[in-house]
Structure 1
Amino acid sequence: MSTTLKEKISNVIRQWEGPLTKELLREPAKYGLGQVPEKMKPDATTTVTCGFCSTGCGLNVHLKDGEAINLTPDTNYPVNLGMACPKGWEALAPLKSDDRAKSPMIRVKGKLVDVDWDSAMKRMVSEFKNVQSKYGDESVAFISTGQIPSEEMAFLGALTKFGMNMIHGDGNTRQCMATAVVSYKQSFGFDAPPYTYKDFEESDVIVLVGSNLCIAHPIMWERVAMNQNNPEIVVIDPRKTETAVAGTQHYPIAPKSDLAFFYGVANLLIQQGHIQQDYIDKYTNGFEGFIEHVKEYTPKKVEEASGIKADELQKLVDTIAAGKRVSFWWTMGVNQSHEGVRVAQSLINIALMTGNIGRPGTGANSITGQCNAMGSRLFSNTTNLLGGHDFANPEHRKKVADIIDVPVESIPEKLGWAYDQIINGIAEGKIKALWIIATNSAHSWINQQGFRDVVKNLDFLVVQDMYHTTETAELADMILPAASWSEKNGTFINSERRFGLVKKVVRAPGQALTDFNIFKLVANYWGCSDMFKKWTDPETVFKMLRECTRNQPCDFTGIEDYQMIDSLGGVQWPLPEGVELKDNERRLFADGKFHHPDGKAKFLFEDPQKPLEVPCQEYPVWLLTGRGTSSQWHTQTRTKKSSVLTKLYPKDIYVEINSKDARKLKIEPSEWVWVKSRRGKLKARAVPAYHVQEGQVFISMHYPECNYLTFPSFDPYSRQPSYKACAVKVSKMEYWEK
């Protein structure tokens, strides 16, 4: 097949609104594609961005007779360079599951029954409007996701807040990335992760905080493995994770001692002269106050808080000081904390004062969770107005209104409630109808029994998902069947700010529709479709969103269309119109200019706060939670559909317990044990091990029972839940309980 013909077929695939049919592949001449050699006639290949984590790998989907039959990692894609994790290799398997939602369903006398779209839409609109009529506009809310394309997120956020008068709406990205968002906004003036994955290869010191990169983001770890600088790989984590084992230094700090620990690191760096004063003076504000603040964090005080001895602390300081290119990376171990914003900023502060930002191999770098959490951050209307704008700014509201052609008065002047505030609003009777899109709250939300009790107060719960069997769908009054990744078109934005293309290469089952088309239907039945007459298809919306970012820090007006994204292997923002794209792996702040009005970054800090729940006599053990294996993903809604992936992780929920603690309790390996907190209990298989410290246990978050234990504490700035630490008790089961 000639290169020209390949390109033409790719163009048709990108633009094709229906499924890739046999006719397209067998009769390309009908579509102006020329003649395909006999041996290639039934086959085609196209590259799509993976729909699991935020790494954003490029996957080649192989098609035969209009069906996606296999996939392989794209060797030319700049993210993964021919590599894929187990989830990526199995990305097609979840699409074929027998429990796909194939038609709308309404609960009748306690049972969900199939209905047509007309009946579903009339019922949903009637229920929501009745609630608003009875309790006011603010009595309805939505909870969305980081796992649908940006164009769909934008449509949902605009439809609900501009067309349906929903003030309150948030996304499940509140659970994973809100802390990073707020940290960057406060420190840099905009939510701007500064790095590119190339930095993993160019650092000589890599500091990973609360990040089990080997498990959570295996392809990023592969980029670390490609580093030719013999780097120091420093892992700061209470548990000796797979990443800590593979690293060169491990600092097992006590749970929730991060802030005191990093203030102690900063204090020694300052005292010993390991700072870049010229950089600080030219590009930052607030350093003098920071010096005074960290003075009290002596090695002795740090040891009391974290358990890390003075000589170990000094070794870390020496390592950072000796590095010419030091990069600081964090993920959920920092974000999911009662004071995560200030912890993240303690890392940002160290990067700023040592001049480790804006250069290759440096940066204060938040690793994102979901495939399109970055798209949610910019375009879902949950953390800001479209394109990083401010709901409270009248100029911003007018700019966005003019671009998307809606009345400016339809755009609310306030942001609305965060996820936890919405749940509290339900408990208090202020929210009476809820629309949940592509997230499994009844598994993932903190203090799970509390959530399940609260949603009983709703008059109406709609769940929009690709499966009708999720824990949340089982609670719903209505289920709307949605198409999944590779059954729709759109864009994802990965951790390094790279737009990647999602393409429709598989037909959604039954009556399932793309989320985009479901939102169109809702707009039509609600009576506000005229407001969204410009929202004809995802690429048209992409171009509107592009215009919304003009003159913003995330300006990508230089990205022409989907074809440009596809041909270049993704494109990172910013790329303003008229700027030549010289390098497709770009970092931010090379010029030292940040996004506050004065162009400078801020040092931000405050005293550490004690967690609201700590171990005590009754519940003497810290519970740590996190990812289990690279074969599992979030609530396992998709990964458990793959027979390959389910062979790669334990079937039963398990608890890792320190071997000494296990001996004291006379607990044997694989024995069933009770793990109890003040909120609930679960039984799990015991896994005695020395990579968990004494007085601590670890449970993988992928199992639904885990969040029956977790304590509902939230960062005051980001409203992100603190999943990572609470107090529990572990005990043997009596023989009659097993």
Structure 2
Amino acid sequence: MSHYLDILTSLPGLSILRQRDGHLTRELLQEPGGFGLGQIPARLKPEATTNMVCGFCSTGCGLKIHLRAGEAIGLSPQTSYPVNLGMACPKGWEALTVLDAPDRATTPLLRNASGQLEPVSWETAMQQFVGRMKSIQKEHGPHSVAFLSTGQIPTEEMALLGSLAKFGMGMLHGDGNTRQCMATAAVAYKQSFGFDAPPYTYADFEESDALVFVGSNPCIAHPIMWERVMRNRRSPEIIVIDPRMTETAMYASQHLAIKPKSDQSLLYGVARILIENGWLDESFIAASTEGFEEFARYVAAFDLPRVVSDTGLKPEQIERFAETIHQRKRASFWWTMGVNQSYQGTRTAQAIINLALMTGNIGKPGTGANSITGQCNAMGSRLFSNTTGLLGGRDFTKPEHRQQIADVLEIDAARIPTENSWAYHEIMEGILKGKIKGLWVICTNTAHSWINQNLAREMLDRLDFLVVQDMYHTTETARLAHLVLPAAGWGEKEGTFINSERRFGVIKKVRKAPGQALADFHIFKLIAHYWGCGDMFSMWTSPAAVFEIIKECSRGMPCDFTGMQDYGWLDAQGGVQWPCPSELEAPAQERRLFEDGKFFRENGKAMFYFEEPRPLSEPTNDGYPFILLTGRGTASQWHTQTRTGKSAVLRKLYPEKPFVEINPADARTLGLVQNEWITIESQRGRMLAMALFTPAVQPGQLFIPMHYEGTNQLTDAVFDPYSKQPSYKACAVRVTRGH
């Protein structure tokens, strides 16, 4: 075990938080290295291997699964896969282990008259599901039931779920937990480019002369992407824009420690400097964009004194940032949740996009305005879940789009909703207002992850019928359910994921699901049968068959992948990026969008979007003098720890108990002692955490990892007006000693 732990902790830049004798310390591993294959224990003696992609984050690493008698007994990173090139992060190494957890859901569970969940047959579960959902619709109307989907199941399952719910069961309202991570990027791309289209390929990490990370900590959140940065041989400038000295910022040549949520002002100020100095790609602006003149007039107001005041940076930091973009031939701009999870995230993302457009840093190696996705299949959710848009990136409100999908699916177009669903927070508010009475939650943990957790749980408690479909029966949401449906997990079913760089990768069934657990695909088919709409899905016989269906749904769209043959072909190719239309016979492994300067808006041009920045939605005051920042804690934790918490190895790599980072100066003012338990409180809730003194956070700020159950008792339910994504990252809190 100690050798295995040595392998797991060898990733360059990996920050390990260790808890020894009740004390918490952070260790940053400085030496370059990376995960290799390690030693497969001799006792395993695999008889065969097969390849598939990892099911944790959006990186989409290739893993080699070692088999005996057709069942997985171990894994190692796939050396030839173009994503990870023989590397895996701790989560990937432990991907099989978490399938063996003792709290796996192995049989349907129904809440009985005494309030306890008890095992029932699948037939009883289906009768209860259909009977109670239909009863609610009959009493309160067809739109009184809704579903909450996920970015963590295969694309084929997402498409079947969204089609079943909306075309078969008559649901109008359904959203996914992708709303919590990627909605902002999706909307920003749609508005600016005309389609939700991340333009880059991972090779750009290695080919940039300057990499700008805005609200992004890939060293922790996407370790293999960070390893690709470490392979860059162009001596790049690494610029990190983040209030906190993150692990990524520790490696930066420029760390711009801005005031929370002042990114927009900084980016507009840098745009002004570029314009005033003529550091532009004028030919690209003229040929490939519109709205630049209005944008240039707008940002003229963001002079140095204003930007210095807004951001807290020094003038020379701002000027050096602008000069670096100009001087380096290839600049790439990367962002994740620090931008997306904001009350003004869409316009901030577009401020990043604007910098790439005005300098011509797009469509070429080492460039791009590049959103890094969170979940393993958030891109699949964005395009094929039937939640925020119709299958294939289409629009529910357009008659021609509805007819195209109806023709592919061989259904009456009248069955397709003509209006968009409520967003996630509107569905939750609909429960509070008594408009949503039944909710079906698939592979997500709303009671833990949704913002302002105490109110979220109160909302769920008000439902007449809550169904949770999950791998584990112990999640915070499953414990509130009236009915739990046991689902198979990654490695126990088939399908495809689409990663951050638009690459389709295959997952395979290499384990049997425990007990009576079924693949989500088969649960959806079972529900369709009991609901009485099974004939509508007679073509949807298997995930492979659905792959062919959604391939047709993509035809003619920017995400067209009709040229992808089948799972075996995808496997042999090492995954393939969209677009891959039928006329593309031999797709290159690494492809960028917009190489020809043509975008997806009607006139073929990208659009400059901008808007006046807004102050913090909840500023500090005398009662709540600290700004709370949240984010990923370690490379070994994932979301609500539903899976990572099941691995003994991963649990050794992060503290089991929550901690809060606080600046030593603030700790002295408050009279705190290192590692003591303190209370952090907002206007919505309170939590206990162990105090960790570190200059990584600035005075007046705190940081708590998002993974702990108490974190979202503090966060404030405010939302971006365009993407409707929650603003998890900054709210006002206070600190008191003890419990």
TM-score (norm. length: structure 1): 0.94
Alignment length, in residue pairs? 696
Tell me if the contact between 2:563 and 2:580 (Cα under 8 Å) persists in the aligned partners.
yes
Match in the other structure for 1:76: 80
Tell me if the contact between 1:48 and 1:60 (Cα under 8 Å) persists in the aligned partners.
yes
Match in the other structure for 2:484: 479
CA shift for structure 1 position 68: 1.1
Does residue 595 of structure 1 match 2:604?
A: no
Does residue 103 of structure 1 match 2:127?
A: no
CA shift for structure 1 position 44: 1.2
Tell me if the contact between 1:673 and 1:686 (Cα under 8 Å) persists in the aligned partners.
yes
2:458 to 449, 453, 457: 453
CA shift for structure 1 position 65: 2.5
CA shift for structure 1 position 627: 0.1
Match in the other structure for 1:245: 250
Q: Distance in 2 between matches of 1:77 and 1:410?
A: 42
Letter in 2 for 1:677: S
Sort the Cα spacing of 1:369 and 1:42 in 2 relative to 1 into closer, same or farther, 3 A. Answer: closer
Tell me if the contact between 1:239 and 1:692 (Cα under 8 Å) persists in the aligned partners.
yes
Secondary structure of 2:509 counterpart: coil
CA shift for structure 1 position 67: 2.5
CA shift for structure 1 position 311: 1.1
Tell me if the contact between 1:49 and 1:56 (Cα under 8 Å) persists in the aligned partners.
yes
RMSD: 1.0
CA shift for structure 1 position 582: 4.4
Q: Distance in 1 between matches of 2:319 and 2:70?
A: 61
**Structure-to-structure mapping, 1:268-283, within 5 angstroms:** 268-283=273-288
CA shift for structure 1 position 610: 2.0
CA shift for structure 1 position 41: 10
Does residue 379 of structure 1 match 2:390?
A: no
2:717 to 709, 712, 718: 712
CA shift for structure 1 position 265: 0.7
Q: Distance in 1 between matches of 2:219 and 2:56?
A: 16
Match in the other structure for 2:7: none
Letter in 2 for 1:379: F
String of CA shifts for 1:479-537, please: whole Å, max 9, x gaps: 00000001000000000000000000100000000000000010000000011111000
1:112 to 117, 132, 145: 117
Secondary structure of 1:490 counterpart: strand
Letter in 2 for 1:77: Y
Secondary structure of 2:396 counterpart: coil
Match in the other structure for 2:174: 169
Sort the Cα spacing of 1:41 and 1:221 in 2 relative to 1 into closer, same or farther, 3 A. Answer: closer
CA shift for structure 1 position 383: 1.4
Tell me if the contact between 1:327 and 1:365 (Cα under 8 Å) persists in the aligned partners.
yes
Q: Distance in 1 between matches of 2:606 and 2:281?
A: 14
Match in the other structure for 1:11: none
1:153 to 153, 158, 165: 158
Uncovered stretches (5+) of structure 1, i.e. residues with no partner: 1-38
Tell me if the contact between 1:107 and 1:477 (Cα under 8 Å) persists in the aligned partners.
yes
Match in the other structure for 2:262: 257
Match in the other structure for 1:723: 728
Match in the other structure for 2:524: 519
Tell me if the contact between 1:299 and 1:309 (Cα under 8 Å) persists in the aligned partners.
no
Q: Distance in 2 between matches of 1:246 and 1:665?
A: 31
Tell me if the contact between 2:438 and 2:463 (Cα under 8 Å) persists in the aligned partners.
yes
Letter in 2 for 1:112: L
String of CA shifts for 1:552-587, please: whole Å, max 9, x gaps: 100111101111100011000001102132421101
Match in the other structure for 1:298: 303
2:631 to 614, 621, 626: 626
**Structure-to-structure mapping, 1:660-679, within 5 angstroms:** 660-679=665-684
Q: Distance in 1 between matches of 2:46 and 2:354?
A: 57
Tell me if the contact between 1:575 and 1:581 (Cα under 8 Å) persists in the aligned partners.
no
Hey, which bits of structure 1, 4+ residues long, moved more than 6 A? 39-42
Does residue 43 of structure 1 match 2:47?
A: yes
CA shift for structure 1 position 404: 1.4
Does residue 322 of structure 1 match 2:327?
A: yes
Sort the Cα spacing of 1:269 and 1:676 in 2 relative to 1 into closer, same or farther, 3 A. Answer: same
String of CA shifts for 1:219-269, please: whole Å, max 9, x gaps: 000000110100000000000000000111100000011111110011111
Match in the other structure for 1:540: 545
Q: Distance in 1 between matches of 2:488 and 2:409?
A: 25
Match in the other structure for 1:25: none
Q: Distance in 2 between matches of 1:402 and 1:152?
A: 20
String of CA shifts for 1:125-172, please: whole Å, max 9, x gaps: 011000000000110000010000000000000000000000000000
Deviates more, 1:491-500 or 1:559-568: 559-568
Uncovered stretches (5+) of structure 2, i.e. residues with no partner: 1-42
Secondary structure of 1:329 counterpart: strand
Q: Distance in 2 between matches of 1:161 and 1:369?
A: 26
CA shift for structure 1 position 288: 0.5
Match in the other structure for 1:64: 68
1:93 to 91, 97, 101: 97
Tell me if the contact between 2:46 and 2:66 (Cα under 8 Å) persists in the aligned partners.
no
Secondary structure of 2:551 counterpart: helix
Tell me if the contact between 1:167 and 1:412 (Cα under 8 Å) persists in the aligned partners.
yes
CA shift for structure 1 position 612: 2.2
Letter in 2 for 1:129: K
Q: Distance in 2 between matches of 1:44 and 1:170?
A: 40
Percent identity (aligned)? 61
1:442 to 433, 441, 447: 447
Letter in 1 for 2:70: G
Letter in 1 for 2:578: W
Q: Distance in 1 between matches of 2:671 and 2:656?
A: 24
1:55 to 59, 73, 83: 59
Sort the Cα spacing of 1:513 and 1:690 in 2 relative to 1 into closer, same or farther, 3 A. Answer: same
CA shift for structure 1 position 42: 6.8
Secondary structure of 1:464 counterpart: strand
TM-score (norm. length: structure 2): 0.93
